[in-house]
Amino acid sequence: MEAHRLSSTKPVQALKPTKKISLEEDTGKASDALPLPLYLTNALFFTLFFSVVYFLLSRWREKIRTSTPLHVVTFSEIIAILSFFASFIYLLGFFGIDFVQSLVFQPSPDVWIAEEEDDEVLLAKEDARKVPCGQALDCSLPPLPPAAPIVTVQKVFDEKPVTVLTEEDEEIIKSVVAGTTPSYSLELKLGDCKRAAAIRREALQRLTGKSLSGLPLDGFDYESILGQCCEMPVGYVQIPVGIAGPLLVNGREYSVPMATTEGCLVASTNRGCKAIHLSGGATSVLLKDGMTRAPCVRFGNAKRAADLKLYLEDPDNFETLSVVFNRSSRFGRLQGIKCAIAGKNLYIRFTCSTGDAMGMNMVSKGVQNVLDFLQTDFPDMDVIGISGNYCSDKKPAAVNWIEGRGKSVVCEATIKGDVVRKVLKTSVESLVELNMLKNLTGSAMAGALGGFNAHASNIVAAIYIATGQDPAQNVESSHCITMMEAVNDGKDLHVSVTMPSIEVGTVGGGTQLASQSACLNLLGVKGASKETPGANSRTLATIVASAVLAGELSLMSAISAGQLVRSHMKYNRSSKDVSKAT
């Protein structure tokens, strides 16, 4: 904690190099040139100096006693005088010149950083001494902040190789700018994704005349996104990840990663987690798990469309259709088919389980198998599109709200009355009233579709970005109805969120990228579940719903206590003068 406080007080310095090698290395000292180990040389010259001083003083006394002139010197006295000067110069060099050098030479900026670090350690020591220890028997200093790992991380950051463009690259940049080399072909042409991104980026800057200097290029594995996550990359956007938690759900604690640039959001969710934890935790139940895809097919008349509908919805045909559907994947298993007719057009909504994948690719492959199979019995069927929007993917649609898509989850908690008062700073009564008038009545007045909540999409979007989900699916994944009710004779609050279409996966897409996979790992749901395929993605869905529960509790409390504007002024409005930011 202390380490964080201290390092956060000097953010700019923390980005500078933090070399510990200081004055000696940069400016050089007289003592650096010694041929022997320092302690041996010191011992030798100290002994020599004091021996010759003793010898010369005794000779001087002898000469005074015998009235011998001082300038009459013997050979041994000459040697002693020379030794005296030699050892004097050495000792002056060692103790004197270094001292003078340190006064005369200005240390390099790196040295200041090193010295300031030391100051921080001293400050930490001083702060540690300020820790009140009257009540405790052990008044020893608490451990110092772990400065070493911070330096190590900083060094790795500073020493990151910076991409340098060569003359050969320059030729390719020119040909991209001239239009002779297509920008999209660079990865294939060069066989080096990082170099391709660097060249594309430079060509883009020249073509647009706009600088991309704030968008980092280095420090990202461009191979990992090739053919899977992003085409024609020129860099990457950095989004901070905050942690809310521990979130106690189904008896387990989770630290929930949230990638966001909205001040307040993580702090607020964290407060909701605290209220849930203090009240014994949340319970999150998965009700349904099935991804959907609905192609649109057209016939010459409505009768033929109706024939196909009856065929597809006949339970006797389900087994045949599922064998055909399931051929495409070990994990995709057909669960059901639901059809909607619009005249001659038929919309066929296939639902299937998808293991730990979010499942869009999987379900699409299965659907394609079935469409190919149906052509034999329905040769007059014209496939208009593999997706006919009755799925419905990435659009607000009642079909998802009513039927569900992906994972359908209900999550609840009973928040104790004193937790509502002390942590959420409001009352059960006003929360229940606000929920009824805002999330239920207000949303009904607005004609909401699945939007019977305060800000489910805030939490969903932040977790989706952190864990590599498809952020566009936030649209239907945020469908949520928040319910609040006074229980236990009005003392406590029962709160629940019901979310019918949470679309998440722990394999495929962005989940395999390093940062996103680290966040999944933090939640203990990284990759495919070895024991039960699908268990990881289902757990992730229950965590998303519980985090939404925490977010709902906290925001609703802030609104009911009239805190919303105040807390946003605190967390969203930095006191920094942004006009001076570089």
Which residues of the shown chain bind ligand ADP in the complex (CB under 6 A)? 329-331, 354-362, 505, 507-509, 528, 533
Sign of CA dihedral 209, 212, 213, 218: negative
Q: Which two structure tokens, joined as six digits, stand for 109?
A: 């900026």
- Catalytic option among 98, 127, 262, 433: 262
CB of 297 or CB of 507, closer to ligand ADP: 507
Instruction: Quote the crossing angle between the two packed helices 193-208 and 167-178, to the nearest 10°.
Output: 50
Catalytic annotation present for 126: no
Regarding beta strands 451-452 and 480-487, do their DSSP bridges make them parallel or antiparallel, or are they unpaired?
Answer: parallel
Active site residue 189: no
Question: Which one of 16, 288, 338, 568 is the catalytic residue?
Answer: 568
* Catalytic annotation, pick one of 202, 470, 476, 492: 470
What is the number of alpha carbons within 13 Å of residue 45 lying toward its C-beta?
20
DSSP 8-state symbol, 507 = B
- Secondary structure class of 134 (helix, strand, coil): coil
Q: Please compute, for residue 154, the number of CA atoms within 13 A of its CA located in the half-sphere on the CB side.
A: 19
DSSP 462-515: HHHHHHT--GGGHHHHT-EEEEEEEETTTTEEEEEEEEEEE---SBSGGGGSHH
- How far apart, in whole angstroms, are the C-alpha atoms of residue 268 and residue 266? 5
Closer CB to ligand ADP, 120 or 470, in the complex: 470
Cα(30)–Cα(12) distance, rounded to whole angstroms? 35
Q: What is the distance between the alpha carbons of residues 78 and 209, in angstroms, rounded to a whole number?
A: 79
Contact 417, 492 (CB under 8 A): yes
Tell me the closest approach of the beta carbon of residue 232 to ligand ADP, in angstroms. 20
* CB closer to ligand ADP out of 181 and 506: 506
For the question of residue 127 being annotated catalytic, the response is no
Cβ 359 to ligand ADP shortest distance, Å: 4
Distance of CA 364 to the CA centre of its chain: 31
Nearer to ligand ADP, 344 or 365 (CB): 365
Residue 399 C-alpha from the chain's centroid: 33
We find the least distance from the C-beta atom of residue 227 to ligand ADP, in angstroms, to be: 11
- Phi, psi angle pair for 343, to nearest 5°: 65, -120
Q: Among residues 454 and 475, whose Cβ is nearest to ligand ADP?
A: 475
**Cβ 409 to ligand ADP shortest distance, Å:** 18
For the CB of residue 470, give the shortest distance to ligand ADP in the complex, in Å. Answer: 8
Q: 394, 438, 494, 570: which is the annotated catalytic residue?
A: 394
Nearer to ligand ADP, 330 or 573 (CB): 330
Place of tokens 């800057």: 205
> Least separation, in Å, of the C-beta of 135 and ligand ADP?
53
Active site residue 568: yes
Query: Which two structure tokens, joined as six digits, stand for 147?
Result: 């400065």
Name the residue nearer to ligand ADP (CB basis): 279 or 537.
537
Task: Compute the radius of gyration of the chain from its Cα atoms.
Answer: 36
Residue showing the smallest CB distance to ligand ADP in the complex: 355
Written as six digits, the tokens of 97 are 């010149």
**Minimal distance, residue 360 CB to ligand ADP, in Å:** 4
For the annotated catalytic residues, the residue numbers are 262, 394, 470, 568
